[in-house]
Chains A and B, each alone.
Chain A
Amino acid sequence: MSTTVAEKKEKVSVPFDYNKYLRPNKLPHIWCPGCGHGIVLKAMLRAIDKAGLDKNNIALVSGIGCSSRTPGYVDFNTLHTLHGRALPFATGIKLARPEMKVIVVTGDGDALAIGGNHFIHACRRNIDITVLVFTNATYGMTGGQYSPTTPLESIATTSRYGNIEPPFDTCEMAKASGATFVARGTAYHTLELEKTIHEAITHKGTSVVDIIDACPTYFGRANKFKSATHMMEEIEKDGTVNVKQAANLPPEKLAGKMLRGVLHKVEGPEYCEKYDILIKEKASAKK
Chain B
Amino acid sequence: MAEKKKKLLQGNEACVEGAIYAGCRFYAGYPITPSTEIAEGMSVRLPKLGGKFIQMEDEIGGIAAALGGSLAGLKSMTATSGPGFSLKQECIGYACLAEIPLVIVDVMRGGPSTGYPTGPSQSDIMQAKWGTHGDHPAIALTPSTVPEILSETVRAFNLAEQFRTPVMVLYDEILGHMREPVTIPGPGDFAVEDRAKPTCKPEEYHPYDDKFLIAPLAPFGSGYRFHVTGLNHKQDGFPTNDSKVIRENNERIMRKVHVNRESIWKNEEVMLDDAEVAIFTIGSTARSARFAVNELRKSGVKAGLLRPLTIWPFPDKAVAELSTRVKAIIVPEMNLGQMTLEVERCAKGRCEVEGLYRVDGEPITPSQIFHEVRKYL
Q: Which residues of A are interface residues toward B (Cβ below 8 A)?
A: 26, 55-57, 59, 61, 71-72, 75-82, 85, 87-97, 99-100, 117-118, 120-121, 275, 278-279, 282-283, 285, 287
Residues in B65-96 with C-beta less than 8 Å from chain A: 65-74, 76, 90-91, 94
Is the pair B57, A118 in contact by a Cβ cutoff of 8 Å? yes
Chain B residues with Cβ under 8 A from A89's Cβ? 64-65, 67-68, 71
12 extra A-B contacts, CB within 8 A, seeds A93-B68, A100-B220, A100-B221: A56-B225, A59-B72, A77-B221, A80-B229, A88-B64, A91-B64, A95-B26, A97-B219, A100-B72, A117-B58, A117-B61, A283-B47
Distance in angstroms between the alpha carbons of A90 and B66 in the assembled complex = 10
Chain B residues with Cβ under 8 A from A285's Cβ? 48
Chain A residues with Cβ under 8 A from B239's Cβ? 72
Interface centre among B54, B68, B230 (most CB of A within 10 A): B68
Is the pair A55, B225 in contact by a Cβ cutoff of 8 Å? yes
Distance in angstroms between the alpha carbons of A78 and B225 in the assembled complex = 8
Chain B residues with Cβ under 8 A from A94's Cβ? 68
B221-236 vs A: 1/0 string, CB under 8 Å?
A: 1110111111100000
Is the pair A77, B220 in contact by a Cβ cutoff of 8 Å? yes
Distance in angstroms between the alpha carbons of A274 and B56 in the assembled complex = 16
Interface: B238 (CB within 8 A): yes
Is the pair A92, B69 in contact by a Cβ cutoff of 8 Å? yes
Q: Which 10 A-B pairs have the closest CB atoms?
A: A92-B68, A88-B64, A96-B72, A92-B65, A121-B57, A80-B229, A88-B61, A92-B69, A77-B220, A89-B68
Distance in angstroms between the alpha carbons of A285 and B229 in the assembled complex = 41
Distance in angstroms between the alpha carbons of A59 and B219 in the assembled complex = 11
Is the pair B57, A57 in contact by a Cβ cutoff of 8 Å? no
Distance in angstroms between the alpha carbons of A227 and B70 in the assembled complex = 45
Given A77-B225, A283-B47, also A91-B54 (CB < 8 A): yes
Instruction: List 30 A-B pairs, Cβ < 8 Å.
Output: A57-B221, A61-B68, A72-B239, A77-B220, A78-B225, A78-B227, A79-B71, A80-B229, A81-B230, A82-B91, A87-B61, A91-B56, A91-B65, A92-B70, A92-B76, A93-B68, A93-B69, A93-B71, A95-B52, A96-B26, A96-B52, A97-B73, A97-B219, A100-B220, A118-B64, A121-B61, A275-B47, A275-B52, A282-B47, A287-B48
Given A96-B74, A100-B72, A283-B50, also A85-B227 (CB < 8 A): no
B28-61 vs A: 1/0 string, CB under 8 Å?
A: 1000000000000000000111101010111011
Chain A residues with Cβ under 8 A from B226's Cβ? 77-78
B302 to chain A, nearest CB (A): 52
Distance in angstroms between the alpha carbons of A231 and B9 in the assembled complex = 65
Chain A residues with Cβ under 8 A from B54's Cβ? 91-92, 95
Is the pair A279, B56 in contact by a Cβ cutoff of 8 Å? no
Residue of B nearest to A78 (CB): B227
Distance in angstroms between the alpha carbons of A95 and B64 in the assembled complex = 13
Tell me what chain B mostly uses at the interface: helix, strand, loop, or mixed: mixed
Chain B residues with Cβ under 8 A from A92's Cβ? 26, 28, 54, 64-72, 76
Is the pair A72, B57 in contact by a Cβ cutoff of 8 Å? no
Interface centre among B56, B221, B223 (most CB of A within 10 A): B221
Given A96-B52, A120-B57, also A80-B64 (CB < 8 A): no
Is the pair A80, B221 in contact by a Cβ cutoff of 8 Å? no
Residue of A nearest to B202 (CB): A56
Is the pair A59, B220 in contact by a Cβ cutoff of 8 Å? yes
A126 to chain B, nearest CB (A): 13
Is the pair A75, B65 in contact by a Cβ cutoff of 8 Å? no
Distance in angstroms between the alpha carbons of A94 and B66 in the assembled complex = 11
Residue of B nearest to A118 (CB): B61
Interface centre among A87, A92, A117, A282 (most CB of B within 10 A): A92
Chain B residues with Cβ under 8 A from A97's Cβ? 72-73, 219-221
Distance in angstroms between the alpha carbons of A89 and B70 in the assembled complex = 10
B198 to chain A, nearest CB (A): 14
Is the pair A56, B223 in contact by a Cβ cutoff of 8 Å? yes
B256 to chain A, nearest CB (A): 22
Chain B residues with Cβ under 8 A from A278's Cβ? 47
Is the pair B68, A91 in contact by a Cβ cutoff of 8 Å? yes
State which of A59, A61, A82 has its C-beta within 8 Å of the C-beta of B221: A59
A285 to chain B, nearest CB (A): 7
Distance in angstroms between the alpha carbons of A76 and B52 in the assembled complex = 24
